[in-house]
Amino acid sequence: MHATYRSAILRDHVLEVGDALNAVLETMTDLADKNRETVVPNYTNGVAAQPNSLAHYLLAFLAGFSRDAQKLRQFYVRLDRCPMGSTVLNGTCWPLDREAMCKRLGFEAVAENAYDATQIGQSDLPVEFASILTGICLHINVFLEDLMVQYAQARPWILLQEGGDNTYVSSAMPQKRNPGLVNNCRTESSSVIGEAQAELFRAHNLQSGMIDPKNQTLNGALALHAVKVLTMFNRVLKALVINKDRALEELNSDWTASQEVADRLMKEYGVPFRIGHHAASHIVSYARANNILPLDFPYAKMQEIYKEVIEKEFPEGDPKFPMSEEEFREALNPVSIVHNRKTLGGPQPAELERMLKEQTAENHLNEQWVADKKAFIQSSLDKLNKEFETLGE
């Protein structure tokens, strides 16, 4: 009986987490759909790396959260096994109909091995669930840290809508609007990760019959804490204010498009990539030394730098810069770069359309799965209650 109620309650918690995760998936998908044409800098090693569509960036997180949802569904299959009738650990001399009990309690199948049903599975299943919750919170914290980088800027391109409990004014510095909602969500998310590790520690170095990792109060509290974090994170997503023009301005204030020059020199004119890369690197060095922004870089200077690189590193090549001024300007245009991507899964409009359609379908699958599982459990319990009522007549 103890194993059965633990499994049943944990099963309910899985569906509660699924509901909260589905809300995040829906909100983030809607945000991506609205920001297909929002071109922003993406960062690697903490440095602005390349221009990208904000929708493409969000779809990457959606892919991660969708894997979390898949793990929940797969885990539920292993959890949805009825221990009832296993008794302590090896059954009983009474000929109990375990299949009938399983059906009436709304489980998909019987947890066959009685020792596994009451001892082994009761330890490893909560640990597995904790690991899934850890993965969800890791995705949340990466997103929140990406967002927090913007608060170090005087003019961020993405931040929280001010007011309510989204932000608060610093007690000492009146100009500051601290992102309280983000801070609190990150704290709660990190706490879930910590509590999940406690579940692992409760389960390790134990004999198989011990009760430590089976504590439903602790396991349930972890699940409810994860639901709280997902709810807070959904509020963060809904509170985001995105300044499309400011994002483009930041891109044009640095040389995140410089690789495109090297790519086009190779693709369109057969210039070895390393040579084109060196030419692009030299224009970046010159521009930074002379405080020149990409949109203002002189075409004549590009021709001069290219000639110097060819003569020094590739003397068999033509020293004349092969790109027209118009093409050179287009290569440094972040919007043009994003639109002209050709690879599967890129940020170009056609791929965004395809991936958003697939994500919407995935979201519907997740929502329907939770709804179906809840309905199956409730239907089984309703039938059981009617049987009890009949017995009392």
Which of 308, 332, 356 is the C-terminal boundary of a domain?
332
pLDDT value, residue 190: 98
pLDDT digits (tens, 9 = 90+) for 144-168: 999 999 988 889 999 998 878 876 5
Which of 307, 332, 357 is the C-terminal boundary of a domain?
332
Q: What average pLDDT does the segment 324-341 reach?
A: 93
CA distance 97 to 195: 38
Both 210 and 268 in a single domain?
no
Q: Range of 279's domain?
A: 258-332
Both 84 and 35 in a single domain?
yes
| CB contact at 8 A, 150 and 159 | yes
Average pLDDT, the chain: 93
- Predicted TM-score of the model (pTM): 0.92
Residue 252 inside a domain? The answer is no
Is the confidence at residue 171, as pLDDT, over 60? no
Both 195 and 290 in a single domain?
no
CA distance 180 to 169: 9
CB atoms within 10 A of CB 202: 21
Residue 158 inside a domain? The answer is yes
Residue 251 inside a domain? The answer is no
Residue 151 inside a domain? The answer is yes
pLDDT tier, 257 (very low <50, low <70, confident <90, very high otherwise): confident
Is the confidence at residue 110, as pLDDT, over 90? yes
pLDDT value, residue 174: 46
Q: What average pLDDT does the segment 268-284 reach?
A: 94
pLDDT tier, 243 (very low <50, low <70, confident <90, very high otherwise): very high
Residue 337 inside a domain? The answer is no
From the number of C-beta atoms within 10 Å of its C-beta (0-12, 13-18, 19+), residue 344 rates as exposed
Both 116 and 198 in a single domain?
yes
How distant is the alpha carbon of residue 365 from its chain centre?
18
Both 65 and 184 in a single domain?
yes
Residue 126 inside a domain? The answer is yes
pLDDT value, residue 301: 96
Q: Domain count of the chain?
A: 2
CATH number at residue 163: 1.20.200.10
Both 99 and 167 in a single domain?
yes
- Tell me what percent of the residues of the chain surpass a pLDDT of 70: 97
Both 28 and 140 in a single domain?
yes
Is the confidence at residue 391, as pLDDT, over 90? no
Both 54 and 96 in a single domain?
yes
Is the confidence at residue 96, as pLDDT, over 90? yes
Both 359 and 230 in a single domain?
yes
Which of 284, 307, 332 is the C-terminal boundary of a domain?
332
pLDDT digits (tens, 9 = 90+) for 301-328: 999 999 999 999 999 999 999 999 999 9
Both 166 and 269 in a single domain?
no
CA distance 300 to 186: 50
- Tell me what percent of the residues of the chain surpass a pLDDT of 90: 85
Residue 289 inside a domain? The answer is yes
Is the confidence at residue 285, as pLDDT, over 90? yes
17 closest CA partner among 192, 185, 144: 192
Both 193 and 319 in a single domain?
no
pLDDT digits (tens, 9 = 90+) for 35-84: 999 999 998 888 877 899 999 999 999 999 999 999 999 999 999 999 99
Residue 194 inside a domain? The answer is yes
Both 164 and 298 in a single domain?
no
Look at the block and give the residue holding tokens 């590790």: 197
